[in-house]
Amino acid sequence: MARRKKLSPEEMRKYIHSLRGKFKTPGDKPFVEWMAELNREEKELEERKFQRLFGRGRENQRRN
């Protein structure tokens, strides 16, 4: 496999600038909104996991 030519800082800036927006499809949420939604979903999952492990588990142990 051939090695790529090492880019100068100016060439690298041009390359990075050319990539901006190529992977974002129209209608995607801005990063800040997407991250806030992801954090909210993660928190809900953690709370459900906690309830499953510690909340109901204690009630079931008391009944036995």
Distance CA 46, CA 38 (A): 12
Region 4-16 average pLDDT: 89
Region 36-48 average pLDDT: 95
User: pLDDT at position 34, please?
Assistant: 87
